[in-house]
Amino acid sequence: MRLLIAEDDKLHRSFLEGVSRDTLPELDELITAADGEDAIAAFGASDFDSVVLDLQMPKVTGVEVAKSIWARKPHTKILFWSNYTEEAYIRGITKIVPPEAVYGYILKSAPEEQLKLALQGVFIAEQCVIDREVRSVQQRAGDRLSGLSELEFEALVDLCLGLTDKAIAARRHVSLRGAQSRLQHLYQKLGLEKGDLPAGPWGPSFNSRTRAISLALSQGILNADALRREEKNLQDWLSSQGE
Amino acid sequence: MRLLIAEDDKLHRSFLEGVSRDTLPELDELITAADGEDAIAAFGASDFDSVVLDLQMPKVTGVEVAKSIWARKPHTKILFWSNYTEEAYIRGITKIVPPEAVYGYILKSAPEEQLKLALQGVFIAEQCVIDREVRSVQQRAGDRLSGLSELEFEALVDLCLGLTDKAIAARRHVSLRGAQSRLQHLYQKLGLEKGDLPAGPWGPSFNSRTRAISLALSQGILNADALRREEKNLQDWLSSQGE
DNA sequence: AGCAAATTTGCGGAGACCCGCAAACGTGTT
DNA sequence: AACACGTTTGCGGGTCTCCGCAAATTTGCT
């Protein structure tokens, strides 16, 4: 068994390394990487069947690392080890996990015992181990009523990137009104009712467009990291339009 | 010497505790807290002259803890120990540090040696120890040209909370046009030039209002935590208006 | 005091946005 | 086929936003 660990925080990395050595008797080799780029490079340089990924890393996100890994070897077992249950990450993961892959998702705040169980569960027993909290977010995202549909999520991303209605329409290949329609549905789902706030004598308190961003951020549906990532996609699209 | 350590991450907390014991020979007592609330409670319950604070903590931010501490005992020595150099935090700190206080700011990514020096520097030698990276952000924020003025920063906060121009005007006691003017200056400072992006044939790509938020987030001027905090202030103000 | 820079304000118009109403679709279910 | 549900689209009007121009005001510094 050959294990790759990618984690930027020094302490967490060495802690994880120690626990892995104690918990996985069949361990033949263990390599660590301090950021996403290194992780991808290391994975290409050697032959791993198991990987532990922190999600929040400099340069390249854990999600992107996973995508690159699974694209090359879909049967690689991956355990995600992260601080938060950001919906953006969870969405990203469930979208890229291949059907045959074994993976797990555990929080750093979990007790050491749970980490050990997850390591053994995913890498030895080959079962999917998903933290309870993460699971609940995952379900909520999949639920049509409380969660956002994929289309609405796209709209949210574009909105947060600062695009205009027209630009959203162009990017997603719908009419102007279509884009606006998606936005309206989004507003509703986020809990942005028109008469929600008792507008004072100085008019309505909230601008729907910006308030939506605020709500999405505070609800953890998006975060600054996810935005930076999407910004890249946007730039790619923009330059492809310029041709 | 009596030291209080506030840090939510288990590993970092025990690591910091160990280093402190090794580095500070005059240490009489050491108490740890796992979140902001606990930290404030602990500080009230005993008598500390030195505090180490993580900035990103559940419930109550390190900045708020510092505010509460300095409000009671302005001569308390505080060392901030954080992951990032978020401008929002740095702004918050420089705004609340009393003239007589000794404090330091060091990053978690710094080598252990630097942490030791910072501990000794702040708590024993009573000098201000500010990490080089942090210092540069601090200066940029204070600079009138590249940084945002206090007024523009306020506007940014209101903008990110989702307020309308009218609401911003009311909240900040200026005319509607005044609020808009602040926003325009803000747009400029953030690098949002009108012809910046070669608007495609489908019109201007960016909505200034939302694009400004996007830029502020990706530049780390604001973060989700800061927003959640400001949201509280906003709610207070809103309810005070209702009366 | 005196000057320069920053900030605020009014006016006004072009454009963007929000959204109710109503009519097509598409997909999957019964 | 008939039906429900989600999504898309056009239209139209009311509102909000953006911003150039110009003048009044405040602030900071010498």
In b/e form, how buried is each residue of B25-43, taking b as 16+ CB within 10 angstroms? Answer: eeeeebbbbbbbbbbbebb
Q: Tell me what pLDDT residue A17 has.
A: 96
- If asked whether residues A57 and A155 sit together in one domain, one would say no
Place of tokens 């996609």: A233
pLDDT per residue as tens digits for the range A96-110: 888 889 999 999 999
Closest to A23 in 3D by CA, of A116, A104, A107: A116
Closest to A153 in 3D by CA, of A108, A190, A128: A190
A12 touches strand D (CB under 7 A): no
Closest to A77 in 3D by CA, of A109, A96, A101, A53: A101
- If asked whether residues B20 and B135 sit together in one domain, one would say yes
The answer to whether the beta carbons of residues B7 and B32 sit under 8 Å apart is yes
Instruction: Find, in chain A, the residue whose alpha carbon is nearest to that of B207.
Output: A164
Q: Nearest nt to A179, CA vs C1'?
A: D8
- If asked whether residues A162 and A111 sit together in one domain, one would say no
Residue A199 tokens, joined: 């507008």
Instruction: Find, in chain A, the residue whose alpha carbon is nearest to that of B212.
Output: A162
- If asked whether residues A167 and A122 sit together in one domain, one would say no
Q: Which nucleotides of C are covered by protein (CB under 7 A)?
A: 6-12, 15-20
- If asked whether residues B48 and B134 sit together in one domain, one would say yes
- If asked whether residues B175 and B229 sit together in one domain, one would say yes
Tell which of A88, A114, A142 closes a domain. Answer: A142
Dist. CA A125–CA B226, nearest whole Å: 42
Q: Tell me what pLDDT residue B142 has.
A: 63
Q: What is the mean pLDDT of residues A174-199?
A: 80
Q: Which of residues 159-198 of B touch A (CB under 8 A)?
A: 159-164, 166-167, 169-170, 197-198
CATH number at residue B64: 3.40.50.2300
Q: One-letter amino acid identity for B78? A: I
Dist. CA A179–CA A151, nearest whole Å: 10
CB-nearest to B218 from A108, A164, A227 is A227
Tell which of B142, B172, B194 closes a domain. Answer: B142
- If asked whether residues A232 and A201 sit together in one domain, one would say yes
- If asked whether residues B132 and B167 sit together in one domain, one would say no
Residue A168 tokens, joined: 């959203």
| Interface contact B113, partner A, CB < 8 A | no
A178 touches strand D (CB under 7 A): yes
Dist. CA B241–CA B173, nearest whole Å: 13
Q: Tell me what pLDDT residue A143 has.
A: 63
Q: Counting Cβ atoms within 10 Å, is residue A143 exposed (0-12), middle (13-18) or buried (19+)?
A: exposed
Contact B11 A10 (CB under 8 A): no
Q: B92-96 contacts: CB < 8 A, separation 24 or more?
A: B92/B61, B92/B63, B92/B226, B93/B63, B93/B66, B94/B138, B94/B141, B94/B142, B96/B63, B96/B66, B96/B67, B96/B70
| Interface contact B12, partner A, CB < 8 A | yes
Query: What number of other Cβ atoms are within 10 A of residue B194's Cβ?
Result: 11
Q: Tell me what pLDDT residue A147 has.
A: 65
Quote the mean pLDDT of chain A. Answer: 87
CATH number at residue A204: 1.10.10
Tell which of A142, A167, A188 closes a domain. Answer: A142
CB-nearest to B204 from A164, A202, A224 is A164
| Interface contact A209, partner B, CB < 8 A | yes
- If asked whether residues B158 and B228 sit together in one domain, one would say yes
- If asked whether residues A51 and A120 sit together in one domain, one would say yes
- If asked whether residues A131 and A173 sit together in one domain, one would say no
Instruction: Find, in chain A, the residue whose alpha carbon is nearest to that of B228.
Output: A218
Dist. CA B3–CA B22, nearest whole Å: 13
DSSP state of B193: -
Dist. CA A12–CA B136, nearest whole Å: 28
Q: Provide the residue range defining the domain that includes B229.
A: 150-242
- If asked whether residues B7 and B53 sit together in one domain, one would say yes
The answer to whether the beta carbons of residues A101 and A76 sit under 8 Å apart is yes
Q: How many domains does chain B have?
A: 2
Q: Tell me what pLDDT residue B143 has.
A: 61
pLDDT tens by residue, chain B, 243 residues? 999 999 999 999 999 999 999 999 999 999 999 999 999 999 999 999 999 999 989 888 898 899 899 999 999 999 999 988 887 788 788 778 887 889 999 999 999 999 999 999 999 999 999 999 888 877 777 665 556 778 888 889 999 999 999 999 988 899 988 999 999 888 888 888 765 454 555 556 899 999 999 988 888 788 888 888 888 888 888 887 765
